[in-house]
Each structure stands twice: as C-alpha cells, then as structure tokens.
Amino acid sequence: MAETIPAHLPGTKPASATIVLAGATGALGRLIGQYLLQRGATVRALIRPGSGVKPEAAALRNQGATVLEVDFNNEAALTEACAGAACVVSALSGLHDVIVDTQTHLLQAAVAAGVPRFIPSDYSIDYTKLPEGSNRNLDLRREFSRNLDKAPIQATSVLNGMFTDLLTGQAPVVLFGLKRVAYWGDAYQPMDFTTTANTAEFTAAAALDPTTPRYLRVAGEVASMQGLQQAASAATGEKFKLFRIGGLGAFGNVIKLTKALMPASDDVFPPWQGMQYLHNMFTGLPKLAPLDNNRYPEIHWTSVREVLATKK
Ligand SMILES: NC(=O)c1ccc[n+]([C@@H]2O[C@H](COP(=O)([O-])OP(=O)(O)OC[C@H]3O[C@@H](n4cnc5c(N)ncnc54)[C@H](OP(=O)(O)O)[C@@H]3O)[C@@H](O)[C@H]2O)c1
C-alpha cells in the first residue's frame, strides 16, 4: 500500500546508531530504510554491484542513507562495510543462494566486524512450528536460522504472518469480481496479517532496540476467512460470501499436482509456493503467539479492512 512516511517521528528521541541494511532496494527493504531514517538512525544500505543506479537506491540516498555497492561474495569487503554498525538487517529475497549462502556471508561479516545484532530476512508465519518440507521458502529460513543460532551474535527474527497487501494482489483469497472469499479447511481458523509498511516500521524499531529477544511476533490484524468476508463486505459496501473449495488434504493434493505441472523451481514465488504458504496458514500451525504488537506503542496497525478498501 502506498504510504507517505514523515521524515521524522514526532516525540521520539533521535537514534544515531548505524544500521546496516541489505536488500534496501527491495519492496520491504526500502521501507525499512525510510523508517530507520525517520527514527534518526544512520543507515548504511548495502546493495550489489550495479544496483546503485536503481531509483530505489537514488531515493534512499536523497533521504540521507549512505548507499554502498558491495560484492556479497567478498567477505573482506562485506566486513569493512559492516564496521561500526549496531545491527545488520537483512531484507534480501531469493532462494538457497540468497537466503542461506548470501545471508551466511553477511552474518560472517557482521560477526567479523563485531556487530552485536542481526535481523535475518524472515518476515513470515512462524516457520519454527512447521514441518520440514511443507514450505520450500520457509525451509530455507529454517536452514539459515541454524547458522544464525550458532553464531556469536544476538539474533532477532521478525515474524508477521502474511503481508496484508497481498490480499489486493497476488493472494487468490478475496475474489473481488465474484464477491467471494475462497478458502480451504476451516473458515474460523485465526491467521495473522500485517502490511509491508507495518512490518518495515516494526523492524526499524527492533533494529534500534538492543533488548530484543530471538523472535518478535506481530499481526496488524488476526482474522479468519469469515473475518475476511466481513472485512471485504465492509470495505466495498457489497455483500461477500464464503466459498469453501475443499478440505486441507485435497488442497495438499492440488499443491503437489501444481508443483508437478508447473515446477518453475527457479522462481522465488511460483504459484505452488504461494499455495504452500496459504496451506500452512489454514492449518493454524504457524499462528503467531504471543504477539508483540505493543512493544513500540507509537506504531498504528493497519487493519485488513483498510487494505481491502484500497482495491480499485
Ligand atoms: N510475509 C509475507 O507475506 C511476505 C511477502 C513478500 C515478501 N516477504 C519477505 O520479505 C523479504 C523481502 O522481500 P521483498 O518482497 O522486499 O523482496 P524484493 O522486493 O524482491 O527485494 C529483494 C532485495 O534483495 C536483493 N537481492 C536479491 N538477491 C540478491 C543477491 N544475490 N545479492 C544481494 N542482494 C540481493 C535485491 O537487490 P537488487 O535490487 O539488486 O535485485 C532487493 O534489494 C523476504 O524475506 C520475503 O520473503 C514476506
């Protein structure tokens, strides 16, 4: 959701800590950068060679960040780029080569530079509660977390459920044309939804907070499919109905079939991976609890209805 972020947060003490941000040209990363700057942090954005010409990099520079092009395979250069930082925040996106390999280079550099804290690119449902093999992308996060937990650095993962913004885009759940909310399993299963902007704002606050625990869990709103039906009706002024496609066993078979027919295994988000994510959420296993929403009370959490109301 497009959002204007004020340059400074009223009433908060400016923080001058240096935060190293990887993935700063991405959808989530650029927002984390803006919220860090708003909180008075010194932001050092690490981007791969060639990406400095991107408009996102120019925007970060204009807002006051230092943008450094660095080869993420060159650990000496990465270590130098991490020097003096209070926290390294990753908002990288990719498959094994990025989430495990590149993030491990970044972690080793952070440790070598003596950075005390690291926030990995997790930003998801609670993968620690999911069985291995149930979600390809979350398995990669679990694999990286094993490296992270062995490293002499304080780690904090931000878990936020599904980006609420996806409900007006890629997630085939709220079917605006048909006025249906389509789901598998139980219409009353609670699930976690947080906007990209709220996730970024919370992550920025966590990056500047030296006392964070291993996991922080937030949800802009906890809603079931029945809740989404009500939110869609309220947001549009039109009556939406629930549409139960089938049970979770049948959904699992559809995912296997989709994966066999359309593997696209080099895509970060092929259709079957989005389906795995929804399947995980529908089981209730990765439900976030307890929630840390009140940790930074200045954050206003955007509701599902507010996001659905932006659908043109
Ligand atoms: N919970 C949810 O529903 C949800 C939804 C979407 C995303 N996410 C998560 O949010 C995080 C960020 O995703 P995003 O959508 O913001 O991703 P994105 O827009 O695709 O941005 C990815 C960033 O990673 C950088 N990058 C990728 N490969 C790299 C490499 N090999 N070396 C260095 N930099 C590399 C990109 O840099 P370049 O500009 O150089 O390409 C870009 O800055 C990920 O963990 C993603 O899984 C969660």
Q: Domain residue spans in the chain?
A: 18-159+195-217
Q: Residue 14 pLDDT > 60, yes or no?
A: no
Give distance in angstroms: CA of 289 to centre of ligand 1: 25
Rg for the chain, CA atoms, rounded: 19
The pLDDT assigned to 98 comes to 98
What band does 15 get if pLDDT is binned at 50, 70 and 90?
low
Q: Residue 258 pLDDT > 80, yes or no?
A: yes
Q: Residue 248 pLDDT > 50, yes or no?
A: yes
Averaged pLDDT for residues 120-149: 97
Among 93, 101, 173, the mutation site with the greatest number of ligand 1 atoms within 8 A of its Cβ is: 93
Contacts made by residues 186-189, CB under 8 angstroms, sequence distance 24+: 186/224, 186/225, 186/282, 186/284, 187/224, 187/225, 187/226, 187/229, 187/242, 187/244, 188/224, 188/225, 188/226, 189/224, 189/225, 189/281, 189/282, 189/283, 189/284
Ligand 1 pocket residue status of 219, Cβ below 6 Å: no
Q: Residue 2 pLDDT > 50, yes or no?
A: no
Averaged pLDDT for residues 263-277: 88
The pLDDT assigned to 11 comes to 47
Ligand 1 pocket residue status of 136, Cβ below 6 Å: no
Q: What is the side-by-side strand order in the sheet with 42-47?
A: 66-69, 42-47, 18-22, 87-90, 117-119, 154-155
The answer to whether 280 and 138 have CB atoms below 8 angstroms apart is yes
What band does 263 get if pLDDT is binned at 50, 70 and 90?
confident
What band does 264 get if pLDDT is binned at 50, 70 and 90?
confident
Q: Quote the distance between the C-alpha of residue 82 and its chain's center.
A: 22
Averaged pLDDT for residues 66-89: 97
Averaged pLDDT for residues 22-34: 97
pTM: 0.95
CA nearest ligand 1 atom 6, residue:
163
CA nearest ligand 1 atom 9, residue:
123
Both tokens of residue 222? 């906890």
The pLDDT assigned to 1 comes to 44
Averaged pLDDT for residues 164-178: 93
The answer to whether 266 and 98 have CB atoms below 8 angstroms apart is no
- CATH superfamily for domain 18-159+195-217: NAD(P)-binding Rossmann-like Domain (3.40.50.720)
What band does 277 get if pLDDT is binned at 50, 70 and 90?
very high
The pLDDT assigned to 13 comes to 46
The pLDDT assigned to 35 comes to 98
Residue-by-residue DSSP string for 230-286 = HHHHHHHSS--EEEEEE-HHHHHHHHHHHHHH---TTSSS-HHHHHHHHHHHHHSTT
Atom of ligand 1 at shortest range from CA of 51: 40
